[in-house]
Amino acid sequence: MDALAVARIGQDMVSAAQLNELCGAFMQGVVQSGGVQLAFCYAQDVTGERLLPLTDVKAATATSLATSTQEWPVIEMGELDNPLVYSLLGSEPCQVDHVDQLVSVGQGFDLLREHFPARCALLAMPLCSTRAHTLAVLVFVGSAVTLRAWRTDPVWQTLAGMHEQLFARLSEQMDEAQRLRYERTVAHRLEAEQGRSRAQRLLAAEFIGKSAQARSIREDMLRLADSSLSTLITGETGTGKDHAAWLIHQASSRSGAFVPVNCAAISAELIEAELFGSVKGAFTGATQSRSGLVAEANGGTLFLDEIGDMPLPLQATLLRVLNEKRYRPVGSTRECESDFRLICATHQPLPRLIRENRFREDLYFRIRQMTLHMPSLRERAEDIPALAMHVLLHFNRERRAHLSGIDEQALAWLCGQTFPGNVRELRSLVMAAAEYVGPGARIGVEALRRLKVSLDVPTVPEQCAQREAAPGPVDQSVRELLSMPSLPQAVDAFEQMLIRQRLRQSDGSRSRAAVSLGIPKRTLARKCQKWNLDQESHVS
């Protein structure tokens, strides 16, 4: 190395005002000299229990990457076999010629060496204060021969000694408050990056698909997870809007609960009490005070599914809650607060509902601060094989069925279907086929074709044709239901009629009938026993 390069490194170190700048200047000089592929620095936190990344330099750019410490793991001082910890505790250099031979060193080191090149050596050098207290450790990664030569080079040892003195002096000048602020910044940055990395892994594992649409949705969900703004998810029925809302919550930093509410499934008379809670005596049946779902979502996410079905009077109340983050339980005079993130979903065109005076325009703009559209399965047909295999994988895990897979022809046939029920329909079909073929078997085209016919919902023209062809039994059944003296009796009669029909469609198979009804097989078995339908069904 020429004198000019040495002088430049020394000048950069002397002019450094922060520890990461000082270490970056020294390590940059080492990497630029050649032979060393990677250099980084870790410093102890105030507690002395952890090592936090300070800065790093890579040979690819030979520049200091102070912000890239987001990628580096926190190392616990309890990893006594970790070369960094060993060097820091012993206050002496530690060289490992074959890093790939180190095993069971610790989680921090295992994550750390993911950044290392193959078949490399490592040199850890402690940095001490003026009172001989070890503060940090420098690490250089390269070939064993290069690292040994570097350690004995008099020029580099002079620069290393100068760097250590400057590091000790600069660290002494940093008062406790500065160190704490700096470490909080680094810790916050690390936490944010680790949270983002966790979110990316979650979305990759839980939102299946390699199509451009699937990748775009994952990117959108990651962006939405970083926000606290209200989000509206749109898309056809069965596209997975509720699953997307759950993933956005899980990928976010919110530690509270994910609270789903289906606005279409709760009566208009009860939905306000369900959302905001009620006090004792507020209405008939309110025998005790209870908190609502808005309170349960405090610190988390409130998911309002089918928001288009929310009654107009309640829409005004919801708008006020969103604007003020305050609400009043039914029958109460006291206001409560809740810090929740709102996600809504609908398959209905809300602008049309606004024109029909069925949805408030001001609420519409308040809930769609951010949007996510879930494409139909027809628009991402190339994801069908991956989705089908994912459903089968979960089926095998839950049922311990050990099905061997799905034929290539069957996958090709699935890709050619329109699936008006989208992912939900595909899932039901694959699960029904898995039940149909049995443990250890492989799902083929014939099983899928047969089940698709039995599970398909007739279109409106088909329904009309069926009624014209055989109007008697259907009309008679409806008349019998309407003539029932009480609702419980009518419900029982309808359940019997529907279960008999599904058992006939599935050739008496309870497993397939249960899947088509969307209920557990055990529940169907109890109902068959209750209504003496055992002769019309079998267990398979």
Q: In sequence order, which residues have a C-beta less than 8 Å from that of residue 298 and are 6 or more positions away?
A: 256, 337, 338, 339, 340
Whole-number Å distance between alpha carbons of 26 and 28 = 5
Whether the predicted pLDDT of 509 surpasses 80: yes
What dotted CATH number matches 3-178? 3.30.450.40
Q: Where in the chain is the domain with CATH 3.40.50.300?
A: 207-375
| Amino acid, res. 222 | L
| Weakest-pLDDT range from 47-61, 236-250, 298-312, 330-344 | 47-61
Whether the predicted pLDDT of 13 surpasses 70: yes
Q: Is 433 left (phi over 0), alpha (psi -120 to 50) or beta?
A: alpha
Average pLDDT over residues 43-60: 82
Number of H helices, E strands in the chain: 23, 15
Whether the predicted pLDDT of 224 surpasses 80: yes
Whether the predicted pLDDT of 177 surpasses 90: no
| CATH 1.10.1220 corresponds to the domain 470-536 | no
Q: Chain-centre distance of CA 143, in angstroms?
A: 40
pLDDT tens string 373-385: 999 999 999 999 9
Three-class HEC string of 382-449: HHHHHHHHHHHHHHHHHHCCCCCEECHHHHHHHHCCCCCCHHHHHHHHHHHHHHHHCCCCEECHHHHH
Q: In sequence order, which residues have a C-beta less than 8 Å from that of residue 185 and are 6 or more positions away?
A: none
Whether the predicted pLDDT of 136 surpasses 70: yes
CATH topology of domain 207-375: Rossmann fold (3.40.50)
pLDDT at 120: 92
Residue 506's alpha-carbon distances to 429, 440, 490, 500, 501, in angstroms, are: 13, 21, 24, 10, 9
Residue 259 carries which DSSP code? E
Residue 433's alpha-carbon distances to 394, 409, 487, 500, in angstroms, are: 14, 14, 35, 20
CB 95 within 8 Å of CB 144: yes
CB 124 within 8 Å of CB 84: yes
The rounded percent of the chain whose pLDDT value lies above 90 is: 39
Whether the predicted pLDDT of 540 surpasses 70: no
Give strand ranges (E) for 110-264.
121-128, 134-142, 231-235, 258-262
C-beta atoms surrounding 376 within 10 Å: 19
CB 321 within 8 Å of CB 340: no
Average pLDDT over residues 109-137: 84
Q: Which helix (H) or strand (E) holds 295?
A: helix 293-296
The residue whose two tokens read 């959108």 is: 220
Q: Where in the chain is the domain with CATH 3.30.450.40?
A: 3-178
Average pLDDT over residues 391-397: 89
Q: In sequence order, which residues have a C-beta less than 8 Å from that of residue 271 and are 6 or more positions away?
A: 263, 310, 311, 314
**Higher per-residue pLDDT: 26 or 4:** 26
CB 234 within 8 Å of CB 371: yes
**Higher per-residue pLDDT: 486 or 344:** 344
pLDDT at 472: 47
Residue 24's alpha-carbon distances to 9, 19, 124, 140, 267, in angstroms, are: 10, 8, 16, 12, 64
Q: Where in the chain is the domain with CATH 1.10.8.60?
A: 381-455
| Weakest-pLDDT range from 117-126, 320-329, 515-524 | 515-524
C-beta atoms surrounding 411 within 10 Å: 18
First to last CA, the chain: 80
141 φ, ψ (degrees, to nearest 5): -120, 130
Average pLDDT over residues 195-216: 88
pLDDT tens string 438-475: 788 899 999 898 888 766 655 444 444 444 444 444 45
Helix, strand, coil percentages, rounded to 5, for the chain: 55, 15, 30
Whether the predicted pLDDT of 131 surpasses 90: no
Whole-number Å distance between alpha carbons of 82 and 105 = 6
Whole-number Å distance between alpha carbons of 197 and 214 = 18
The pairing of beta strand 121-128 with beta strand 134-142: antiparallel
The two tokens of residue 395 are 């089926």
Put simply, whether the predicted model's pTM sits higher than 0.85 gets the answer no
CB 181 within 8 Å of CB 70: no
| Amino acid, res. 42 | Y
Mean of per-residue pLDDT scores for the chain: 84
pLDDT tens string 27-38: 999 898 888 999
pLDDT tens string 317-340: 899 888 888 888 888 888 899 999
Q: Where in the chain is the domain with CATH 1.10.10?
A: 470-536
State the pLDDT confidence band at 350, using cuts at 50, 70 and 90. very high
Task: Estimate the crossing angle of helix 471-482 against helix 460-469, to 10 degrees.
Answer: 100
The pairing of beta strand 326-327 with beta strand 336-337: antiparallel
pLDDT at 516: 82
The residue whose two tokens read 């694959």 is: 430
Residue among 171, 84, 158, 183 at smallest CA distance from 130: 171
The two tokens of residue 451 are 């089940």
The two tokens of residue 89 are 């505790």
Radius of gyration of the chain (CA): 32
pLDDT at 211: 93
Residue 11's alpha-carbon distances to 4, 15, 150, in angstroms, are: 10, 6, 21
Query: What contacts 24+ positions apart, CB below 8 Å, involve 407-414?
Result: 407/442, 407/443, 407/444, 407/445, 409/444, 409/445, 410/443, 410/444, 410/445, 410/447, 410/448, 411/384, 411/385, 413/445, 413/448, 413/449, 414/384, 414/385, 414/388, 414/448
The rounded percent of the chain whose pLDDT value lies above 70 is: 86
Residue among 166, 163, 158, 147 at smallest CA distance from 3: 158
State the pLDDT confidence band at 62, using cuts at 50, 70 and 90. very low
The pairing of beta strand 134-142 with beta strand 36-44: antiparallel
**CATH architecture of residue range(s) 381-455:** Orthogonal Bundle (1.10)
